[in-house]
Structure 1
């Protein structure tokens, strides 16, 4: 049987001869137990490391896939942005061309007026000089009133029509926001005289819903007073089904806004286009639905349920407003109150409008309660 000391060989040979020797088998058993214990502790660490390594591989793959998707997104975004910038560039160049054309037209008209005035002055002055130098006394006596009157009229006309030459400079503002182009925010505007169609807007129910035979109205807001007939808005109203055009009424409010009205002659869909300076404003053409009749309001047009019901706590309103103190309806300045007179049935603030029906927040006995 092979024996081994429980201490090191060097120790046994040099200093500690006579120590007890143990069989190798017994020592090996103890060492195996220690090694197994160490492996038991190591195995979970190995498993964790393998999981971590697998997660690293998976993260690398996810990173590559995410990067590929982002590259595609960047390509789509930049291509769209480039198209938007190219379109915006064309708009800017078109704005410059239109402004040059507008200024040229104004200058041509002004030049024609000045030339005509100059010619009239030359003619009148030549006649007067000829009368003074060559005319007989009798002709001078007879033509004096005519010559003076003509010169006076020309002078008055000159002063009344005297105007400064319009500045010919055109300014480009690269930092100014130019709105949206194909869904992208773009910058850079050409400072132009007159109105900019891109900044015009419309307000009013007449561009959403109409009733057969009833006047539809909306307001065009240009923010700048239009100058000259070439800048006046052009509105076309067309029945889509029949192709029949309507003649709208355009009233200039002389403050940069226009009141536009038309009367549908057929039920169905209308196309309403609004153009300023030959260009559609934002949102044009507009789609308008024309019905045979508008659904009437079964409620009352009031300021609030507190007033119209005599302060009843259980009176509710289509606006959904409530008041403190147990009141179920709306009152001035309280939560839910629209801030305007409105219909008790649906809460609409437009007196002449179609009823959208009693809201879920209002019980069916709303109208009877509020009418009290």
Structure 2
């Protein structure tokens, strides 16, 4: 629940304690979610967890380039710690920390020296020219009710140590001193230094407005939590009432109904458990949002009411972004739970023929509003359909698992086993593994009633699930497809050797979206950078690496002296590139402008073909078509793995070309020599063969956004998509 925000003097040790080490903060750093932790604690946490998550709210954190050091410092907490120490030191009986005596009389605190001084030492301290700029707070200020609000040690410029931070350069969004406004931030078209107080006041007004918006949202969420708690407390009453009514009914049926009686009790208990679980999940989800908003409110109010101008300017944008994100986030605050009860479905006179229908649990599910979504199904793989159970208000709602019945038949009428599992409130996953291709029938019932559309037709396909293109030079046709890449939208870009063009296809339906001609005699590798631009290599005459816009406009051509015979390549998220040079028999790690960083693999590679990057581990995988090997190097150039499978069919590498690393760390390799696409573990251990492609020659490969492997089939002049996991 929300409570009145305490003054600085009322903060206890818990507020000043790091949630990781449970000690007072040491150099507290602020995460984007506005939670603070010791710098050392965060650095240790970051070494154990990738990606980094906030220890409190579990939100993923993207650290700046400087790592934890680049996070904002929570100067407000630092000031509070200093203030608490100074205030405690000013209590009677505490000796001066300079002369180590004089426990009587008033005392002052020097923020620069972090020392408590008696009156005599304070006078001496003020006389030294070296200490004339030190911040000294007297005992009256320390003990005053508004003492903390006046306890703001001056902040000095990192570059000009003697000068305070008195200006804010709006162009650079940086705190600067007087000297900076003359040297690095001179007023003009590139810099606009403004006095701190002016900018800070504007920022505070913005934050005050956000604070006003937070309060009604907090009340709304709190009310929802209370409503869910009330419904949770009513579960036992609903169970008791339903059980009593069921007991009275089944006692009349005697021995004949004992079995059905136990089934009904089981349904009641399960309904209570399911509802309780769903409501508990709902409560936790709402409380999670409440915690995040309350935390942001606390931090925002700290900044507005007690933060210095410097602190407000340092964290204001961050606070504003966090609060605005929370305020605009769409929340589902409705629990949608209705009390269940036992109902009599059959009169006693119909006992013998209606035993199985005696009794039941009536829930809020409206079968007419339930929906089933059938996902693409592939022979031999676990496949899924999703059932959404809804109430009369057309909102997802939970029910007990016995109320959901499924049945699947293959084309011959044989039953295909299905499993039903509730994934979240109102969402059910129906899993099955078809053994044959063709149209299957999936029957779905809720409370013994067919869901609209049941039985559903599920068209089970084999591998490949989609074939794109055929030989030719027209739109949608391919001639010598060698490299393939997938963009963020799931479209498949193919570079054609003989048509000397790039053609982009829809990754779901396979129709051509666009084509554009490319320069260079022998195009080979292709990749898409983080901005959606397409990069293509070509070897031979007019060789190079070229970058094109999505529309096919040539943007850049890279022809560094180190690049002689470029083949496969890959681009990193930060814009760096790894290009294989077939003539130099090595990999070239290049900057985003094409200049070389280092050469990798020299002395190991004979005829490198394609490369794939595992950026999470900083490893690149290279196929060597001449050596029939796969090599792995780190970005520093160290060899970490190489393997070859020459004997037997399982895992044999025969002129390996395309290579890709999936999110689980599996290595997928395509053989141009026999067309096999195979999966290996991160340690090189062979797992299985996915397929042998049409035409028997697989070149480039890529992973689609929905989990398929797109394979360039050189001899068959097409792209094939395979399900592999």
**TM-score when scaled to structure 1?**
0.35
- Structure number with greater Rg is 1
Larger relative contact order, structure 1 or 2 (CA cutoff 8 Å, min sep 6): 1
**TM-score when scaled to structure 2?**
0.19
Greater percentage in helix: 1
Greater percentage in strand: 2
